Structure 1
Amino acid sequence: MNSGDASRIQELSGFLTESRFRKFRDVLSQRTRFVSVVLEDLYDPHNGSACLRSCEACGIQEVHIVEERNAFMTVEGVTMGSARWLDLRRHYSPDAEGNAMLSDEHSGASIGQCYAGLRDRGYTIVAMTPHPAADKAVAFDRLPLSGPVAVVFGSERDGLSETAMNEADLHTRLPIHGFVESYNISVACALTVFHLAGRIRNELLPEQWQLSGEDHDSVLLSWLRRSIRNVELVERSLSSEPRVEP
């Protein structure tokens, strides 16, 4: 445990009610990075917002947002504030001002960057698609959980890019029992994360999927900072106070 984070958590927790801080602890005990979500080039803010809300509700802490052709936007009335509790990792080619440089052409650079970072951390990358390639296909309910998994969802109109499909480790599709080919993206995301969140809790030991000690404290500290009004002034004041040695 980082002693600096632990000390600051103790100080800032005093600005919350006991019940609120207890809620933070309870929710954090259910948070995981064992399952992460990647959203590639979603263009409807309502769908993106609903995906974030489902991830938060299921305890998924980390969501990767790939922006090559479309800027990712949210609708507060749909997210219901869920984005503030998540770690959103954005992947894009920056322009001169550091904003996402969008193009009608898909270069594959941003999704490649996202995949490389996930692989460096040991993730198996699973493309969610109605058309799995035969050499990569695996049944949805048999996705391997021997290590962390990142599930990738594509845009509403075009689905996943060729790069996202080709460079994924596995392909899978949600079961369909009707005439339609696929679910709406936000529904597909909700069904997927709900299923996988249940599996890791039922099939793995808590220490395999829960946040590690330092990660746990880092997330808790970020939540505290997002919950306290004028937190910069509060922390400045706390830092300037003389410490009393025990």
Structure 2
Amino acid sequence: MTPERFAKIKEVLNRRQPDLTVITDNVHKSRNLSAIVRTCDAVGISHVHSADPDDGFGTYHGTAKGSHRWVNVSIHEGVEKPIQMLQEQGFKVYAATLTDRAVDYRTLDYTQPCAILLGAEKFGVSDTAADLADEHIIVPMMGMVESFNVSVAGAIILAEAQRQRSLANMYSESRMDPQEYQKTLFEWAQPQIARFCQERRLAYPELAEDGEIVEPSKWYQEVREIRAERKRHKMQL
């Protein structure tokens, strides 16, 4: 871990937007899902919700494999769950769908907690999701086609969200929960040790200012003692 790399990680984390997210409603093409995740990372989104993607959630070749390390993706059975969960947390859900109530995407406020709902490639946002959404939005079209590709539409809308939030200085300092910030910082800076701790149900060690573990030899000795104690306890049962 170089000082420059650790500084870059903290810089990116400081710009994450915990109250901006995306819900995909059965978007099933992996290349589109991956492109959406890539855009989310670019505008500072840390968490994406994917409802009922066919065959789970994969990546398309190298399109966004790197981005998946920086953006958490939750898979949901049914689009109702993530919509209602986020609304209960105070999010407004903006569904990108062509309906009579749809408004130009640029007219809405993206500085409030909000989730962009993107529909399946062929059928768009489902009726269920559209009914649950707080607002319907469209990207105005000037040609013969009715809509952009779902990942392109998502990028256009999220660029507007980023523009509004930049004007509101929402990227100027960290807005993450402090505990979540420290947890994510460790996982990004020390992914292998983070996995080691997760697999063994160990607390993360403290990070120094350069991103390295504080007194690593002492920590390794503590880990050995913890594992030995767990082994003795297991034998006594």
TM-score, length basis structure 1 = 0.75
- In structure 2, relative to structure 1, the CA distance for the partners of 1:119 and 1:208 (3 Å cut) is farther
Q: Distance in 1 between matches of 2:100 and 2:131?
A: 9
Q: CA deviation at 1:89?
A: 1.4
Checking the alignment, whether the CA contact within 8 Å between 2:105 and 2:137 is kept in structure 1 is yes
Q: Distance in 1 between matches of 2:68 and 2:47?
A: 10
- In the alignment, structure 1 segments of 5+ residues that lack a partner are 1-15, 93-109
Any idea what SS the aligned residue of 2:75 has? strand
Q: CA deviation at 1:58?
A: 1.5
Q: CA deviation at 1:138?
A: 3.1
Q: CA deviation at 1:208?
A: 9.2
Any idea what SS the aligned residue of 1:54 has? helix
In the alignment, which residue of structure 1 is the partner of 2:64? 79
* AA aligned opposite 1:85: W
Checking the alignment, whether the CA contact within 8 Å between 1:42 and 1:70 is kept in structure 2 is no
Which of 6, 20, 23 aligns to 1:38? It is 23
Q: Distance in 1 between matches of 2:169 and 2:133?
A: 24
In the alignment, which residue of structure 1 is the partner of 2:99? 132
- Percent sequence identity is 29
Query: Highest relative contact order (Cα 8 Å, sep 6+), 1 or 2?
Result: 1
In the alignment, which residue of structure 2 is the partner of 1:100? none
Is 1:241 aligned with 2:222? yes
Q: Distance in 1 between matches of 2:124 and 2:180?
A: 33
Any idea what SS the aligned residue of 2:93 has? strand
Is 1:122 aligned with 2:90? yes
* AA aligned opposite 1:133: D
Q: How does 1:176-215 map to 2 (within 5 A)?
A: 176-203=141-168, 205-206=170-171, 210-215=175-180
- In structure 2, relative to structure 1, the CA distance for the partners of 1:186 and 1:166 (3 Å cut) is same
Q: Distance in 2 between matches of 1:73 and 1:116?
A: 25
Q: CA deviation at 1:64?
A: 0.4
In the alignment, which residue of structure 2 is the partner of 1:11? none
Is 1:217 aligned with 2:198? no
- In structure 2, relative to structure 1, the CA distance for the partners of 1:30 and 1:230 (3 Å cut) is closer
Q: CA deviation at 1:66?
A: 0.4
Q: How does 1:36-185 map to 2 (within 5 A)?
A: 36-67=21-52, 71-92=56-77, 110-129=78-97, 131-134=98-101, 137-145=102-110, 147-185=112-150
- In structure 2, relative to structure 1, the CA distance for the partners of 1:174 and 1:58 (3 Å cut) is same
- In structure 2, relative to structure 1, the CA distance for the partners of 1:18 and 1:209 (3 Å cut) is closer
Any idea what SS the aligned residue of 1:77 has? coil
Q: CA RMSD in A?
A: 2.7
* AA aligned opposite 1:192: I
Checking the alignment, whether the CA contact within 8 Å between 2:111 and 2:161 is kept in structure 1 is no
Q: Report how many aligned residue pairs link the two structures.
A: 207
* AA aligned opposite 1:21: F
TM-score, length basis structure 2 = 0.77
Q: CA deviation at 1:177?
A: 1.7
Q: Distance in 1 between matches of 2:53 and 2:16?
A: 29
- In structure 2, relative to structure 1, the CA distance for the partners of 1:127 and 1:209 (3 Å cut) is farther
- In structure 2, relative to structure 1, the CA distance for the partners of 1:209 and 1:65 (3 Å cut) is farther
- In structure 2, relative to structure 1, the CA distance for the partners of 1:22 and 1:177 (3 Å cut) is same
- In structure 2, relative to structure 1, the CA distance for the partners of 1:231 and 1:120 (3 Å cut) is same
